[in-house]
Amino acid sequence: MEAGKQVVIRETTVREDFLIAKHFYEMWLDVGVPEDLIHSDWEDNTLTFIEQARQNLFYQGFVALVDGVIVGSASCQLFAGLYPNALKPEYRKYGYIWGVYVEKPYRRQGIARKLTRKTIEYLQEIGCTRAVLNASPEGKPVYEGLGFINSNAMHLDLTQM
């Protein structure tokens, strides 16, 4: 990015949901998922997810603009959980950050960090007690620099057994 160019981060509008979906798709390709293993209806699937999350989970998307052009995006919402939540919200009201994406020519310029900070601010505004995300290897340094720590989440590749 040229010196003097300003990055503006703002909330998305419903009309921009398709950009979030496009960036989410590009993110999967960037982390090495073969295109033939992504559902052909990825866009409709993502748009439906966003619509439902907006209605039920306080979803909010953000975009990064340089000279009025969108070059990145990020999404966040309440974490719906993987199991029943038996804990009071003052102890455990998690927010989930997903789909942090910056177009290749604009990477390594602090844009992902700015987008992530904005999602953190939003999750704090809606009363979340913790922010959770899954990081790509390239994204880990960004998130660690913002104070995220590795958790005790573990995984086992069942296709290799």
Please say if the pLDDT value at position 1 is more than 60.
no
Rounded CA separation 81/89 (Å): 13
Rounded CA separation 109/23 (Å): 18
Rounded CA separation 52/23 (Å): 19
Domains in the chain: ranges and CATH: 7-160 (3.40.630.30)
100-150 residue pLDDT tens: 999 999 999 999 999 999 999 999 999 999 999 999 888 999 999 999 998
67-96 residue pLDDT tens: 999 999 999 999 988 888 888 988 889 999
pTM: 0.92
* pLDDT number for residue 154: 79
